[in-house]
Chains A and B, each alone.
Chain A
């Protein structure tokens, strides 16, 4: 039966059909649904790991035990998982192991635009790149076969327009793959220098064998047109855009295996076309390879190195006219915002009001950087708020009373803990705010090790953040309710004034969680309102002054009451007030 499937859903279907029994992942757009879809198959054990390194190591452990296993992450997650990946390349696998990485060209939901193909080259592991959902499913099956045949982890590279695009996919039955026997093999699995020295030549020999495989696999294919004046080498979604523009009128070398690349196939293709063009999103990886084997081609001289491709990018680069279209109309922007009732809003209002330097982190609370709050000074990567604030205050200890780190509960478990250990151990006067909304929010509500539920929604051990901070050497840990502005502000001032490490846990569940009940909407009494617009300073989408005076939209307001605490005239009433 054919079904419309997201690329991520198809990848999960591929895991199911290929007999995979273990998946570990940390959520990250655009990779999250691989695991969310895989968990729907009872045959596959799935879990959210605290971070991508743990997920990759866990998947390796399952492979070592003989299971077909997988881990999944977004592109920046592979930075975190790079450590195990580079050495799993040396040990090889027992059961087949697939590493999903989802790149995000154009940074729809990311902090950088890195090209994961560099990791495949650097770690010397094969990488497959599907062009649509159909291939996503099929390539997963082949990835397991390559993994077991060549004793290597295999990376399957997705990107936003594959992960979050749907096309029809056929569904085949699952092939059960029994556990391979586990045999103790110290030379294979203990990467001490003596063993690793013997392993490295085997990795190089494997690459040579994979190069030979790349020459004959159906993953790579040439599609010759009658007209041989233009030949295009491409992969992934870029293939779809090329086909959209050129149809069957040009010759195409479509690469499904992007590491290692098929040198002879490329030479043959080049010999049979007049002009050779490489069409690849992000970095010139294929182009540089083609040039390195002495073949002239055009690539980034025509195409951008920045952003995602589309049929219009192809047309423009190749000098093909684009369709006419209406003139653009200038309209006000609509950036993403914190939701009505978001527990982060009041806290960021206080941080902005008191002019704190806020060392931020990755999550919904990154939106604290947006107008009108403009409360955040820095956002780098997962966990960098905690370690970054430590360095900032070692360099500028006099700023301690006006500096905080801000990190979510899930991000703290991902990579904030080690930074906090550093604060305690090397004793900086940092104040770390853990925004505990009991969920991994931005990626669409995944449970995490602190909220008491696992990936299936079943009860799980809830790690106690207060006890954890104490265990990491922080004596002063205070819990506040961010809906209570007065108390939160008092604690903020006390803890930042304290000359030593401290943690404030700002605890209030995400307003979008099902179990969080909406309170009746608030309203503004026009007789009491002096139109001072204080209530607009928190940037709540439920409050606007379109008619010149603030009004609360009852369809959006969830009755959190934060705005009412800002009104000096008692004009905001109802709900929780």
Chain B
């Protein structure tokens, strides 16, 4: 099995942590793994992407058009921005949270609130959830990334403890309990 997961969001939402947790899970389950990140300027509130690729042997660290099995989007608009990367039979797992970008704030552009309907109308499988609300329920808005991880985990047959073990290795101990709760809420336990 080979899996390509593209993670997108807004700088500061915690996409790097999500990609690292997913990477550990696949590694634990015996796959070769590559993760690609972008640091620096684009992290300042800009559109950010990371890639996780797993399989028997992975060469390229990046995912290009038509190659993503999953797009895991931390923000609604971002799911649409990279839709070209999705495989024909791929799945978009997205947060329904809207974050206005600067062109929207200045009035140069309008936020397309119905963007997920546009994707669905094009025949794309979209699994949307209000990760922000679940993160608040877990105790912190910063756990949006872990809620989404929990939701993504439903698509894989790995035992749940593989995910939670990877979380334990990745998040700071002080925030572990909150993150485990966020994961469980996202997974729908």
Contacts and interface: CB of A to CB of B under 8 A. Distances in A.
Contacts of A444: 39-40, 43
Contact of A539 (B41, B105, B109): B105
B35 A166 contact: yes
Given A237-B61, A244-B59, A364 B44 contact: yes
B44 A367 contact: yes
Contact of A331 (B64, B86, B115): B115
B-side interface size class = 35 or more
A367 B37 CA distance: 21
Interface stretch (A57-65, A332-340, A558-566): A332-340
A471 interface: no
Interface string B33-77: 111111111111111000000000011111011110000000001
A167 B41 CA distance: 23
B168 interface: no
Interface stretch (A387-395, A425-433, A498-506, A540-548): A540-548
Contact of A325 (B65, B103, B104, B141): B65
Given A164-B39, A364-B44, A334 B10 contact: yes
Contacts of B61: 132, 161, 165-167, 237, 240
A337 B65 contact: no
Interface stretch (B117-125, B152-160, B179-187): B117-125
Interface size class of A (residues with CB under 8 A): 35 or more
Contacts of A332: 77, 101, 103-104, 108-112
A462 B58 CA distance: 47
A237 B41 CA distance: 22
Contact of A338 (B33, B44, B87, B115): B44
Interface in A168-211: 168
Contacts of A337: 44-46, 102
Contacts, number: 197
B85 interface: yes
B62 A161 contact: yes
Contact of A442 (B44, B112, B122): B44
A33 B38 CA distance: 12
A30 B105 contact: no
Interface in B77-104: 77-78, 80-81, 83-88, 100-104
Nearest to B11: A336
A334 B47 contact: yes
A240 B36 CA distance: 13
A372 to B, nearest CB: 5
A366 B46 CA distance: 14
Given A311-B64, A331-B112, A332-B77, A370 B38 contact: no
Nearest to B47: A334
A536 B103 CA distance: 11
Interface string B13-48: 000000010011001000011111111111111110
Contact of A310 (B34, B60, B100): B60
Contacts of A555: 141
Interface in A277-322: 310-312, 322
Contacts of B188: none
A385 interface: no
A4 interface: yes
A118 to B, nearest CB: 23
Given A109-B39, A244-B60, A325 B87 contact: yes
A42 interface: no
Interface in A2-42: 4, 6, 29-30, 32-33
B106 interface: yes
Interface string A229-249: 000000001001101100000
A541 B40 contact: no
A459 interface: no
B43 A541 contact: no
A226 interface: no
A457 interface: no
Nearest to A313: B64
A331 B77 contact: yes
B101 A109 contact: no
A494 interface: no
Contacts of B47: 333-334
B34 A326 contact: no
Contacts of B45: 334, 336-339, 541
B103 A333 contact: yes
Nearest to B16: A164
Contact of A336 (B42, B78, B81, B110): B42
Contacts of A442: 40-41, 44
Contacts of B66: 322-325
B81 A371 contact: no
Nearest to B119: A329
Contact of A335 (B65, B101, B115): B101
A165 B39 CA distance: 11
A331 B80 contact: yes
A29 B41 contact: yes
B105 A545 contact: yes
B23 A4 contact: yes
Contacts of B100: 541, 544, 546
Given A4-B27, A331-B77, A336-B46, 8 more contacts: A108-B42, A166-B36, A166-B61, A312-B65, A323-B65, A326-B83, A329-B80, A329-B122
**Shortest Cβ-Cβ A-B pairs, 6 listed:** A109-B40, A323-B66, A325-B66, A29-B40, A336-B46, A332-B109
7 contacts: A4-B35, A108-B40, A166-B34, A334-B45, A336-B46, A536-B105, A541-B102
